[in-house]
Chains A and B, each alone.
Chain A
């Protein structure tokens, strides 16, 4: 009898690592959906590049989570054999691609955060996380530069692109707060100098995105209401569809080697 979903012993550090791995996998998966369908060939290449960076980050983080957990889970079991309620990613990264403007705004909000986050992670007392932070920071710096340039082009381009970019900002804004939330399980790791305290990054994040949004002649919403739930497995309806596609072969042919 093969198993349907794996069991994960979510110690604080395993959970912490899985949360970041899930962010990277789901956002990378979303970007990979663009492959072959982007507005220009150059952008097709760029979206695939960012998707590949994120997949690479996910794989390192899953492998580290597996090592920490010390059972027989591995990167593929984490990715392919957990159900929606076991996934720990931010709601932001599972939001559908929508039009190119929406994809770029999602990327921009996330990269502006990830860039700061990974840079801070380089100071972690956990050597593996510090090393992953050092590599990922270089990648997210590019993601931030690339998406910022597009936000400016779209915001300050045509009436239509301005309208689309503004709509995307308003639609996605309420998913940004979750990036800065901390629960008890992470608090202990922050106090131990292992995890990054995201709340400390909020002022700089806001400064970065405000500067870009201003230059793009766009506006940030006034609303402070923020959605939460991804970190504890309460997702939007979208994630289930991502997983049904992502996991289809592993679910159809349990136990096969690919």
Chain B
């Protein structure tokens, strides 16, 4: 669904790279050429992308949990089918993002293992709970909306497999976003209880969604390399502002109040949010969000309980290969 700007750097690794090849590489980037898996690339570029794409993949997979929490309770058969299909889409996104990350030379097993052991991160937004049906609408409307803001520029990312994956992901995400908004619209046109449910969900998700864009530019030290490599094309604050400007009129249309008493419209027409609680961001990132432990436990449980199935499939494939080999030898 969305990979978060964690802003760690591997700049030191670049010292060991051959300067001439690095210069030629940068020239290709500057000329807006796509880098493909078999092309030479600096080790730090490879490492940055592996981390970013795999974090994005982990986010898709962990992101199945909060929404999956409502599949069995969806209020109509149409909503149930749409939600199941949506969560299945997230799974598909995870799959082809892992495949894109694998083109950089790390296996899916290793990447998943890094997530399960807590070494690799996923988007902090999925560490918040889905308490009511309105949360499903809000996730589609805001979380997928924020994801789209981040991912549209990634369709032009310098790394070919990632950029191509993003084109497909973005198409599906924009469908999810409209679906989420439509859930909210139905609630807001519904009973008083439903409208209160919608407002409550917005109150709980608004600030975490703004944090999805990562720390403010003034403390974000490591975007430079990603920008130079055309992995990142807009700063965290630029994307956050675009998102807020797009979302405020939508909230007004729904008749919902954004839970920010300090938000003001500036002279240029931008909606400027009040201060974001970055301590909360740090706490959730450090593993102290409301659902961090539950999410990892659920993923580990699925992984552990599925081990015998994966072993059986591998054992059967091996037996079959041996039999075919024996047959061919006869």
Interface residues of A (CB under 8 A from B): 25, 29, 32-33, 35-45, 48-49, 51-52, 55-56, 58-59, 62, 75-76, 79-80, 99-101, 152-154, 156-158, 160-161, 164, 245-246, 248-250, 253, 256-258
- In the complex, chain A residues whose CB is within 8 Å of the CB of B274: none
Chosen A-B contacts, 13 in total, with CB atoms closer than 8 Å, are: A32-B71, A33-B72, A36-B298, A39-B306, A40-B306, A41-B94, A48-B87, A100-B305, A153-B316, A161-B311, A249-B74, A257-B186, A258-B190
Q: Which of A59, A76, A157, A158 has the most CB of B within 10 A?
A: A157
Residue in A48, A75, A164, A248 whose CB lies within 8 Å of B91: A48
In the complex, A101 Cα to B308 Cα: how many Å? 10
B84 touches A37 (CB 8 A): no
Q: Would B65 and A38 count as touching, CB distance under 8 A?
A: no
Residues of B within 8 A of A (CB): 61, 64-65, 68, 71-81, 84-85, 87-88, 91-92, 94-95, 98, 133, 186-187, 189-191, 193-194, 298, 301-302, 305-313, 315-316, 319
Inter-chain CA distance A37–B87, complex, in Å, is 12
Chain A residues near B302 (CB, 8 Å)? 36-39
Given contacts A38-B302, A99-B305, 9 further A-B contacts (CB under 8 A): A36-B302, A37-B302, A39-B305, A39-B310, A44-B88, A55-B77, A55-B84, A160-B308, A258-B186
How many residue pairs link A and B with beta carbons under 8 A? The number is 141
Contact residues of B: prevailing secondary structure: helix
B72 contacts A76, CB within 8 Å?
Answer: no
Closest chain A residue, CB of each to CB of B309: A39
Residues of chain B contacted by A38 (CB below 8 angstroms): 302, 306
Closest residue of chain A to B79 (Cβ to Cβ) is A258
Give the complex CA separation of A101 and B76 in angstroms: 30
A154–B310 Cα distance when bound, in Å, is 10
| Contact call B95/A52, Cβ cutoff below 8 A | no
**B87/A36 in contact, CB under 8 A:** yes
* Inter-chain contact B190/A164, CB cutoff 8 Å: no
In this complex, what residue of B is CB-closest to A162? B312
Q: How far is the CB of B169 from chain A (nearest CB, A)?
A: 15
Min distance, Cβ B323 to any Cβ of chain A, angstroms? 10
Give the residue name and chain of the B residue nearest to A257 (CB).
Answer: B190
- A41: chain B residues at CB < 8 Å are 61, 91, 94-95, 98
> CB within 8 A of A246: which of B73, B307, B316?
B73
- Whether the pair B301, A37 counts as a contact (CB closer than 8 A) is yes
Q: Contacts A55-B81, A253-B191 known; A35 to B312 CB distance under 8 Å?
A: no
Q: Which residues of B contact A153 (CB under 8 A)?
A: 312-313, 316
* Contact present for B95 and A62 (CB under 8 Å): no
Task: Name the contact of B88 in the complex, choosing from A48, A101, A256 (C-beta under 8 A).
Answer: A48
A228 to chain B, nearest CB (A): 27
List B contacts of A79 (CB < 8 A): 77
CA distance A144 to B74 in the complex (A): 27
- Whether the Cβ atoms of B68 and A35 lie closer than 8 Å is yes
For residue A35, which residues in chain B have a CB less than 8 angstroms away from its CB?
A: 64, 68, 71, 84, 87-88, 91
Q: Bound complex: CA of A129 vs CA of B303, how far in Å?
A: 41
Q: Are B315 and A157 in contact (CB under 8 A)?
A: yes
CA distance A56 to B85 in the complex (A): 11
Of A32, A154, A157, which one neighbours B80 at CB under 8 angstroms? A32
Contacts of B319 in A (CB 8 A): 156
Which chain A residue shows the least CB distance to B92? A45
Residues of B within 8 A of A99 (CB): 305
Q: Which of B75, B308, B315 contacts A249 (CB 8 A)?
A: B75
Contacts of A40 in B (CB 8 A): 306, 309-310
* CB neighbours of B74 from chain A (8 A): 249
Q: How far is the CA of A58 from the CA of B311 in the complex (A)?
A: 35
